[in-house]
């Protein structure tokens, strides 16, 4: 065997398929593997060589998306001081991962029972939200879980609007953060 590690070619093909899957499934999870193969400029045969079953591709995309969100998460942590600032930076960093966000959160029920679907990220985020409430930067009357849902929802619609062209990409992060904090009211 050639020692191991997949060749560069294989890595590139694998990435192309994952990107295509995120792009297609973000908008229509019922899309067929043939659609994804087409988007990836790859034959269905090749797709099946990399991911023998549909579920294998779903799992791989799940893991890959979470990994990329994790990077964004850590990057945001590294440059933040206060809890609210961390929340804001996470929202900002994550907006660039529109396809992954849409895939992960547009219908989380599709992952129930999936061993790779953990709510650890949620726990960390909930802690941050509670900290922000103690700091007086986030309304303590709002349930932390609900605040998190609002956050995800805003990230989701922001990503969606960027994908739809309604919202310029460079304004996405700032817009999401500002509405999260201050709603749609005019700046004073």
Partner DNA sequence: TGAAAATGAGACATTGCTGTGTCATTATCG
Partner DNA sequence: CGATAATGACACAGCAATGTCTCATTTTCA
- Residues lying near a second copy in the complex (CB under 8 A): 27-30, 106-107, 109-110, 136-140, 142-143, 145-147, 149-150, 152-154, 156-157, 160-161, 166-167, 175, 178-187
Q: What's the first-to-final CA gap in the chain, in angstroms? A: 67
Within a 10 A sphere around the Cβ of 157, how many other Cβ atoms? 15
- Please answer whether residues 153 and 92 qualify as being in contact, where contact means their C-beta atoms are separated by less than 8 angstroms: no
Cβ closest to DNA, residue 33 vs residue 63:
33
Running DSSP on this structure, what letter comes out for residue 96? Answer: G
Cβ closest to DNA, residue 1 vs residue 164:
1
Measured between alpha carbons, how far is 86 from 63 in angstroms, rounded to an integer?
23
- Tell me the closest approach of the beta carbon of residue 4 to DNA, in angstroms: 11
Cβ closest to a second copy, residue 41 vs residue 135:
135
Residues whose CB falls within 8 Å of the CB of residue 3, separated by 6 or more in sequence, listed in order: none
Contact of residue 27 among DNA, a second copy, none (CB under 5-8 Å per partner type): a second copy
- Please answer whether residues 68 and 97 qualify as being in contact, where contact means their C-beta atoms are separated by less than 8 angstroms: yes
Cβ closest to DNA, residue 24 vs residue 93:
24
Q: What is the largest CA-CA distance in the chain?
A: 67
Name the H helices within 53-143.
54-78, 83-94, 98-105, 120-134
Contact of residue 48 among a second copy, DNA, none (CB under 5-8 Å per partner type): DNA
Span 46-105, contacts to DNA by CB under 7 A: 46, 48-50, 52-55
10-39 footprint of DNA as x/- string (CB under 7 A): x--x------------------xxx-----
Residues that bind DNA (CB under 7 A): 1-2, 6-10, 13, 32-34, 41-46, 48-50, 52-55
């Amino acid at each position: 065997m050639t020692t191991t590690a997949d060749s560069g070619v294989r890595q590139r093909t694998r990435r192309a398929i994952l990107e295509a899957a995120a792009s297609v499934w973000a908008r229509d999870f019922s899309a067929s593997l043939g659609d994804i193969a087409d988007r990836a400029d790859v034959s269905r045969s090749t797709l099946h060589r990399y991911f023998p079953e549909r579920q294998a591709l779903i799992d791989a995309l799940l893991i890959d998306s979470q990994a990329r969100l994790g990077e964004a998460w850590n990057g945001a942590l590294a440059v933040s001081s206060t809890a609210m600032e961390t929340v804001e930076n996470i929202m900002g960093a994550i907006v660039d991962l529109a396809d992954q966000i849409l895939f992960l959160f547009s219908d989380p029920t599709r992952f129930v029972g999936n061993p790779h679907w953990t709510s650890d990220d949620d726990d960390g985020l909930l802690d941050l939200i509670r900290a922000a409430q103690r700091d007086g930067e986030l309304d303590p009357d709002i349930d932390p879980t609900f605040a998190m849902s609002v956050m995800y929802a805003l990230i989701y619609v922001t990503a969606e609007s960027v994908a739809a062209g309604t919202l310029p990409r460079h304004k996405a992060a700032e817009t999401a953060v500002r509405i999260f904090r201050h709603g749609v009211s005019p700046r004073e």
